[in-house]
Amino acid sequence: MHAPNHNPLILSLPDEVATLAFGAALIPVLQPGMVVTLEGDLGAGKTTLVRGLLRGLGYGNKVKSPTYTLVEVHTVSGLNLYHFDFYRFNEPEEYVDAGLDEYFQGDGICLVEWPDKAAPYLPSADLCIRLRVDGDGRSAEVHAASERGALCLKNFQPLFSVSSNPIR
């Protein structure tokens, strides 16, 4: 599923502020129409990352989790962002029944929590972000899953110091 020859980027996110900053740091590299999946257990920080991204774009309203609504639609700075959460699906066919496919066909950026719950129907991702609880904080792995995603990853510049392979 993942594009070969691209190592994942590994980030350490010691606190919520770091997760928010990570979300904001994605803004310059995301392109219209991209699909970003957000994997990780309950409470791993997926919604927090989306909140950071939206705030970074200038979105001033409360960012609600789409757990009950399946999708929250945001239009900010001329971009459409579709934030999904499929946690409550009992079976992936519910994705098809919900008629959500058209969100993935336009220029909106799709951010998807619990993508596994909609597999195999979910359109393929460009970037896969995996969040994990790591002590009091979180860690994140960013994988490119398409050529477009690989370009994103290449251009990504975290706004904070991160690396699993510190140079010193």
Ligand X SMILES: Nc1ncnc2c1ncn2[C@@H]1O[C@H](COP(=O)(O)OP(=O)(O)OP(=O)(O)O)[C@@H](O)[C@H]1O
From 39-47, 90-98, 120-128, 152-160, span contacting ligand X (CB under 6 A)? 39-47
Pairing of strands 109-113, 79-85: parallel
Q: Does 19 engage in binding with Mg ion (CB under 5 A)?
A: no
Kindly state the smallest distance separating residue 166's Cβ from Mg ion, in Å. 30
Kindly state the smallest distance separating residue 40's Cβ from Mg ion, in Å. 9
Partner that binds at residue 137, options Mg ion, ligand X, none, CB closer than 5 to 8 Å by kind: ligand X
Q: Is 10 exposed, middle or buried (0-12, 13-18, 19+ CB in 10 A)?
A: middle
Q: With respect to Mg ion, which residue has the nearer C-beta, 13 or 150?
A: 13
Q: Does 47 engage in binding with Mg ion (CB under 5 A)?
A: yes
Asked if residues 87 and 104 have their Cβ atoms less than 8 Å apart, the reply is no
Kindly state the smallest distance separating residue 151's Cβ from ligand X, in Å. 26
Extended strands (E) in the chain: 9-13, 35-39, 71-76, 79-85, 109-113, 127-134, 137-144
Residue 54: DSSP 8-state: H
Query: In the set 23, 24, 35, 40, which binds ligand X (CB under 6 A)?
Result: 40
Query: What burial letters (b/e) apply to 19-30, b meaning 16+ CB within 10 Å?
Result: bbbbbbbbeebb
Site for ligand X in 83-122 (CB under 6 A): 85, 87, 113
Kindly state the smallest distance separating residue 69's Cβ from Mg ion, in Å. 12
Q: Does 65 engage in binding with ligand X (CB under 6 A)?
A: yes
